[in-house]
Amino acid sequence: MLGPARRVVFCALVCCSVYARASSCPPRCECSEAAHTVKCVSRDLRTVPVGIPGYARNLFITGNHIGRVGPGCFRGLDNVTNLSLSGNRISEVESHTFAALRSLRYLDLSNNQLTNIHPEGFSMHNHSLRELNLSRALYNHSAVMDLAASLRLSSLGALQGLDLSGNGLIFLPPRTFSRLGRLRRLQLSNNSLVAIHNGTFWGLGELEQLDLTFNALKSIPEEGLRELDDLPAAASLLLGDNPFTCTCAIEPFALWLNRSQGRVRDAEGLVCAFPAVMRNVSLLAAATRTLGCHQRAAGADMALQTSYVFLGIVLGLVGLVFLFVLYLNRKGIKKRVNDARDACREVWEGYHYRYEIDSDPRLSQVSVSADA
Ligand SMILES: *[C@@H]1O[C@H](CO)[C@@H](O)[C@H](O)[C@H]1NC(C)=O
Ligand SMILES: *[C@@H]1O[C@H](CO)[C@@H](O)[C@H](O)[C@H]1NC(C)=O
Ligand SMILES: *[C@@H]1O[C@H](CO)[C@@H](O)[C@H](O)[C@H]1NC(C)=O
Ligand SMILES: *[C@@H]1O[C@H](CO)[C@@H](O)[C@H](O)[C@H]1NC(C)=O
Ligand SMILES: *[C@@H]1O[C@H](CO)[C@@H](O)[C@H](O)[C@H]1NC(C)=O
Ligand SMILES: *[C@@H]1O[C@H](CO)[C@@H](O)[C@H](O)[C@H]1NC(C)=O
Ligand SMILES: *[C@@H]1O[C@H](CO)[C@@H](O)[C@H](O)[C@H]1NC(C)=O
Ligand SMILES: *[C@@H]1O[C@H](CO)[C@@H](O)[C@H](O)[C@H]1NC(C)=O
Ligand SMILES: *[C@@H]1O[C@H](CO)[C@@H](O)[C@H](O)[C@H]1NC(C)=O
């Protein structure tokens, strides 16, 4: 009682074993039993060919037009350790595509156009995979969420090398690599990464090499420096060919670089790209001399003092002009002063009189009754 779908699968398995037994080779491929190698290179294939012999350990299906790959493509290929699917315009990786490849260690998916990666697209039998090459494999940055999910949810716990170079990545979602605890080499060069955030490299407890060259980092602020400091002490970093912008804001990074020359392998080669006057200046030198942020602060104090002196002179001049005007008006002023003095005297005498009345109880009685 086989349903139609089952009958197809059954037939495919039978066909495969027939091919294997006959040690024949699928059309448009070249097979070498002695070298355990099958190559189907640039033959305009639209699907993964059926009937690849079971002795194959190295399988190269490259430079074709295979749009999508799924779990049906690789049945019966227990012995394949190296699979290259480079340059096939693959846009979709279905769930458990490679799970039948029980011995798979090296998977090359570079130079494809992935837009849909199933979260379990890279789920492997028994965590077998060691190297995954996704260099220039994504169609554009939009696939990064699919990629991050698949790196977290697929069984890649034994992965040691991951190449994500040349994918136009602008950012990496936090904890993208959190399930890759065995990863040693991470290639992120030739992307457009602008920042390193808290959590970007979380979980990479065995990392040995991190390549961040040819990205869009203008600086690495404190948050990113802490993240890099949290990587294993033995991990070496590459940071060259980023558009470092040498204003005072880069100082914490430059000082960190000076401290971290042991692990930043290209520290001595890092140069400023902006501003134009700083172009090609070594970042290490910029930290100490050329940037001169603290001299600039001293200069600001100087300017402040200068402005106080200037203010004093202006106030002095205003005072002089005032005195001069007073001098010119001296007659009128004398008259006013006299008038004022007379007025004061009158007021004073009036007050004095009232005070005398108030201080004599009898007179105050009189004044109260008189007021009443
Ligand atoms: C895998 O290789 C082993 C030994 O080389 C061989 O016995 C076995 O038949 C191969 N598997 C398949 C599916 O051909
Ligand atoms: C498989 O690929 C890896 C990495 O590309 C290479 O080092 C290894 O020699 C290859 N194995 C075989 C049997 O060709
Ligand atoms: C899974 O891998 C472990 C260690 O790599 C190995 O001992 C075990 O035999 C493997 N199991 C299967 C079913 O391949
Ligand atoms: C990944 O593939 C690209 C292009 O096919 C190649 O240049 C690069 O060396 C590979 N990466 C690794 C780590 O082998
Ligand atoms: C990536 O490509 C898809 C499909 O063509 C498109 O919808 C999306 O806008 C592109 N994203 C970016 C960032 O260019
Ligand atoms: C970076 O990637 C672009 C295309 O993605 C490619 O043309 C260029 O050669 C790469 N540069 C380096 C240094 O790898
Ligand atoms: C980073 O994020 C974690 C939570 O995800 C938080 O506990 C930790 O304090 C943060 N570290 C810094 C330096 O902000
Ligand atoms: C920067 O230095 C490199 C070599 O050190 C040189 O080739 C390049 O012309 C320099 N660029 C500028 C703008 O000075
Ligand atoms: C850079 O580090 C060296 C020692 O490695 C130290 O002597 C020097 O003062 C440091 N420069 C700055 C600006 O901290």
pLDDT tens for 25-44 read 999 999 999 999 999 999 99
CA-nearest residue, atom 8 of ligand 5: 142
Structural domain contains residue 154:
no
Percent share of the chain, pLDDT over 70: 74
d(CA 124, CA 121): 9
Tokens representing 122 are 């890279």
CA of 147 to the centre of ligand 4 (A): 18
Ligand 7: nearest atom to the Cα of 223: 13
Angle at 292 between CA 289 and CA 297, to 5 degrees: 150
Structural domain contains residue 271:
yes
What residues make up the domain containing 256?
A: 160-291
CA of 141 to the centre of ligand 3 (A): 36
User: Which single residue is written with the structure tokens 């005070």?
Assistant: 355
- Residues 116 and 202 placed together within one structural domain of the fold: no
pLDDT at 20: 45
Structural domain contains residue 29:
yes
Ligand 4: nearest atom to the Cα of 131: 13
Map residue 7 onto helix, strand or coil.
helix
256-272 per-position pLDDT tens digit? 999 999 999 999 999 99
Q: Please identify, among 131, 149, 178, the residue that sits at the C-terminal boundary of a domain.
A: 131
**Cβ neighbour number for residue 178 with a 10 Å cutoff:** 15
CA-nearest residue, atom 5 of ligand 4: 110
- Residues 126 and 203 placed together within one structural domain of the fold: no
CA of 284 to the centre of ligand 2 (A): 39
- Residues 53 and 119 placed together within one structural domain of the fold: yes
Ligand approaching nearest to the C-alpha of 262: 9
pLDDT at 81: 96
79 Cβ closer than 6 Å to some ligand 1 atom: yes
Structural domain contains residue 181:
yes
- Residues 118 and 176 placed together within one structural domain of the fold: no
- Residues 89 and 39 placed together within one structural domain of the fold: yes
Ligand 2: nearest atom to the Cα of 131: 4
167-194 per-position pLDDT tens digit? 999 999 999 999 999 999 999 999 999 9
Output 94 or 302, whichever has higher pLDDT: 94
d(CA 197, CA 217): 12
Cross-strand bridge partners of residue 37: 32, 58
pLDDT of residue 362 exceeding 90, the answer is: no
Structural domain contains residue 341:
yes
199 Cβ closer than 6 Å to some ligand 7 atom: yes
Ligand approaching nearest to the C-alpha of 175: 7
CA of 194 to the centre of ligand 8 (A): 23
pLDDT at 322: 58
279 Cβ closer than 6 Å to some ligand 8 atom: yes
pLDDT of residue 5 exceeding 80, the answer is: no
d(CA 41, CA 234): 40
Map residue 35 onto helix, strand or coil.
coil
Q: Please identify, among 291, 321, 352, the residue that sits at the C-terminal boundary of a domain.
A: 291
- Residues 172 and 124 placed together within one structural domain of the fold: no
CA of 258 to the centre of ligand 9 (A): 6
- Residues 67 and 172 placed together within one structural domain of the fold: no
Structural domain contains residue 284:
yes
CATH of the domain at 207: 3.80.10.10
Backbone torsions φ then ψ of 327, nearest 5 degrees: -60, -45
pLDDT of residue 4 exceeding 50, the answer is: no
pLDDT at 359: 54
Structural domain contains residue 300:
no
- Residues 108 and 225 placed together within one structural domain of the fold: no
Query: Do 266 and 240 touch, CB atoms closer than 8 A?
Result: yes
pLDDT of residue 344 exceeding 90, the answer is: no
Structural domain contains residue 305:
no
Q: How confident is the model at residue 285 (pLDDT cuts 50, 70, 90)?
A: confident
82 Cβ closer than 6 Å to some ligand 2 atom: yes
- Residues 165 and 284 placed together within one structural domain of the fold: yes
pLDDT at 323: 67
How far, in Å, are 28, 84, 230 from residue 155 at the CA level? 33, 19, 24
105-145 per-position pLDDT tens digit? 999 999 999 999 999 999 988 888 999 999 999 999 999 99
Ligand approaching nearest to the C-alpha of 158: 3
Output 344 or 283, whichever has higher pLDDT: 283
d(CA 9, CA 263): 53
Q: Is the peptide bond before 221 cis (omega within 30 degrees of 0)?
A: no
pLDDT at 335: 74
pLDDT of residue 276 exceeding 60, the answer is: yes
- Residues 233 and 355 placed together within one structural domain of the fold: no
CA of 142 to the centre of ligand 5 (A): 6
pLDDT at 124: 87
Alpha carbons within 13 angstroms on the beta-carbon side of residue 181 total: 4
Which residues make Cβ contacts (< 8 Å) with residue 185, sequence separation at least 6?
A: 160, 161, 162, 207, 208, 209
**Cβ neighbour number for residue 111 with a 10 Å cutoff:** 19
Average pLDDT over residues 82-101: 96
Alpha carbons within 13 angstroms on the beta-carbon side of residue 331 total: 0
277 Cβ closer than 6 Å to some ligand 8 atom: no
- Residues 50 and 107 placed together within one structural domain of the fold: yes
Q: Please identify, among 273, 291, 309, the residue that sits at the C-terminal boundary of a domain.
A: 291
Q: How many domains does the chain have?
A: 3
Judged by average pLDDT, the poorest of 56-60, 105-109, 266-270, 364-368 is: 364-368
- Residues 30 and 69 placed together within one structural domain of the fold: yes
Ligand approaching nearest to the C-alpha of 229: 7
Ligand approaching nearest to the C-alpha of 146: 5
pLDDT of residue 17 exceeding 50, the answer is: no
106 Cβ closer than 6 Å to some ligand 6 atom: no
Percent share of the chain, pLDDT over 90: 66
Average pLDDT over residues 337-362: 61
Nearest one of 71, 77, 72, 70 to 53, comparing CA atoms: 77
190-207 per-position pLDDT tens digit? 999 999 999 999 999 999
Query: Do 212 and 193 touch, CB atoms closer than 8 A?
Result: yes
